[in-house]
Amino acid sequence: MRIIDTLRSGNCWKVRLLASFLNISLERLTLSIDRGDLKSDTFLARAPMKKVPVLELDDGTNLGESGAILYYLAQGTPFWPERSDEQSQTLAWMFFEQEEHMRPLSKLRLHRKRLVMAP
Ligand SMILES: N[C@@H](CCC(=O)N[C@@H](CS)C(=O)NCC(=O)O)C(=O)O
């Protein structure tokens, strides 16, 4: 399996973190937002949601959305609970993170870093 990621993306980091907890070795293709890699036809053809992270499976399937990728990796492991009420609570925190953390905080952090680090 291979992850297409970028260096400053928390969404990509979450996927790499879970993979490391599960001892799943991921090949890595690290792109640069600053260089415009995410606008390239090659990337857009591979990325179902047109954003990173993308998880490329060995059969050629490409998965997008960090939460969906986490779900894929966590299936059958202690990171995905068996009881449906616990699954629901897990999903609630994943949705909370995207809506309440990523949108107002992480995006701000990413754009601030880009401005500070821009040449
Ligand atoms: N909800 C998506 C958000 C993905 C996302 O916003 N990725 C950013 C990097 S963290 C990206 O690809 N930005 C480039 C762009 O929007 O063109 C997820 O969790 O995977």
pTM of the model: 0.91
Tell me the CATH number at 80. Answer: 3.40.30.10
Provide the domain count of the chain: 1
Ligand 1 and 52: CB distance under 6 A: yes
d(CA 74, CA 36): 31
**Ligand 1: distance of its center to the CA of 11 in Å?**
7
Give the nearest ligand 1 atom to 64 CA. 20
Whole-number Cα distances in Å, 3 to 13, 42, 86, 105, 109: 10, 15, 28, 24, 22
What are the tens digits of pLDDT across the range 11-66?
Answer: 999 999 999 999 999 999 999 998 999 999 999 999 999 999 999 999 999 999 99
What are the tens digits of pLDDT across the range 73-82?
Answer: 999 999 999 9
Helix 84-96 and helix 66-74, axial crossing angle in degrees, nearest 10: 150
Instruction: Name the band, by pLDDT with cuts 50, 70 and 90, for residue 119.
Output: very low
Structural domain containing residue 26: 2-117
Ligand 1 and 47: CB distance under 6 A: no
